[in-house]
Amino acid sequence: MTQNLTGKVAIVTGGGGSLGGAYALALARRGAKVVVNDLGSAPAGGGASRGPADQIVAEIQSLGGSAVANYDSVTEGARVMQCALDTYGRIDVVVNNAGILRDMSFHKMSTADFEDLYQVHLLGTFSLCNAAWPHLRGQGFGRIVNTGSAAGIYGNFGQANYSAMKLGIHGLTLSLAAEGRAKNIHVNTIAPAALSRLTLTVMSAEQLQAMRPDLVAPLVLWLCDPACTESGGLFEVGGGWIGKLRWERAAGHHFSPGAPLTPEDVAAQWQAITRFGPDSTHPASMAEAFGPFEKVMKGEIT
Ligand code: NAI
């Protein structure tokens, strides 16, 4: 397979940043026309500069590719989308990547620190998906890549605001994947690891040397390919390593639905409730997850 995205139009939010820039350049190299959206904010949010988006657009153009800069905040998804329509007349691919960090331990975190992260990450991702959705549905094709984080998957000290948004974004991905499937709209989440001004706050440049952003871009490009059938997936990716994640559910324990259930009963079965083993399952949809409750409702558990 040789990827060719000629004729496709992509929006990359935060496209002037480390990872976003790598995605925008890689998409353009494969023939896509790219809207490079970037507000040019400070790492913690606030401020604005046209420089980051302009620089990536110039790089793409110097390679002979086609790109346009857009400086709106991702909270204004309709405006970002309009830029794609005004410039290229269509939209095929959305990479929601813009992000900021406001790390601090939870006892110091204010509502504003939570709200500002919500605006850029979760609302921003929703806002552009929401604006692009009718167009993707109408043409029966769309690829959306959303950006989560290991901090969202596993939790991390000092990142309560960021973790909440990043796992929230994957919840959005899962439901959009379910709603988009019939219209050939595929939606996935990546949790990247790469050198950027954001990661320099937690690791040194030496440690991050091999974690080049262009080692993340190929996964994003494959997830955007018309031939890629993956949807609703969650992938960790960085430094040339890529792996998919899934939920695992213990076999659990059925108590009798007709009898009183006490905290002591729960404690007595704690091992069965929490044990992962060969009888664990990996539900991938509400229908699959509903199995144990269905048994109760059908009267199979007495
Ligand atoms: P970066 O700081 O280089 O890039 C983020 C870009 O988003 C910046 O250019 C910034 O101006 C832009 N931006 C911020 N707020 C915006 C807004 N409201 N509207 C439009 N653009 C806005 O950071 P990096 O590392 O490239 O991050 C990209 C994404 O990957 C983020 O969502 C981040 O949370 C996520 N991520 C990165 C990791 C890493 O190892 N670098 C780890 C896990 C997640």
Q: How far apart are CA 76 and CA 1, in angstroms?
A: 36
Strand partners, 35: 11, 68
Whether 162 sits among the annotated catalytic residues: the reply is yes
Coil, helix or strand for 221?
helix
- Measured from the CB, is residue 193 less than 6 Å from ligand 1? yes
* For range 270-275, the mean pLDDT: 98
- For residue range 9-19, what is the model confidence (pLDDT) as tens digits? 999 999 999 99
177 close to ligand 1 (CB < 6 Angstrom): no
CA 150 to ligand 1 centroid distance, Å: 14
What does the pLDDT look like over 67-117, one tens digit per residue? 999 999 999 999 999 999 999 999 999 999 999 999 999 999 999 999 999
- Give the domain-ending residue among 197, 212, 245: 245
- Closest C-alpha to ligand 1, atom 44: 149
Domain count, the chain: 2
Band (2; pLDDT cuts 50, 70, 90): very high
Statement to judge: residues 33 and 109 lie in one domain: yes
Model confidence pLDDT, tens digit, residues 208-224: 889 999 999 999 999 99
The secondary structure element, H or E, covering residue 295 is helix 291-297
CA of 285 to the centre of ligand 1 (A): 30
Report the pLDDT value the prediction gives residue 204, as an integer from 0 to 100. Answer: 87
The rounded Å distance from CA 147 to ligand 1 centre is: 9
d(CA 36, CA 39): 10
**DSSP state letter for 255:** P
Residue 225: give its domain's CATH number: 3.40.50.720
Residue of 70, 80, 96, 97 best suited for mutating to test ligand 1, as the one with most atoms within 8 Å of CB: 97
Tell me if 25 sits within 8 A of 37, measured CB to CB: no
Statement to judge: residues 192 and 291 lie in one domain: no
Q: Which helix (H) or strand (E) holds 18?
A: helix 18-29
**What per-residue confidence (pLDDT) applies to 207?**
87
3-state SS assignment for residue 10: strand
Whole-prediction pTM: 0.97
Summarize pLDDT for 112-137 with one digit per residue, the tens. 999 999 999 999 999 999 999 999 99
Q: Which residues are bridge partners to 236 per DSSP?
A: 191, 243
Which pLDDT belongs to residue 203?
83
Pair of tokens at residue 113 = 């620190």
In this structure, the answer to whether residues 226 and 151 fall within a common structural domain is yes
Which structural domain, as residue segments, surrounds residue 15?
9-245
- Which ligand 1 atom is at minimum distance from the Cα of 16? 9
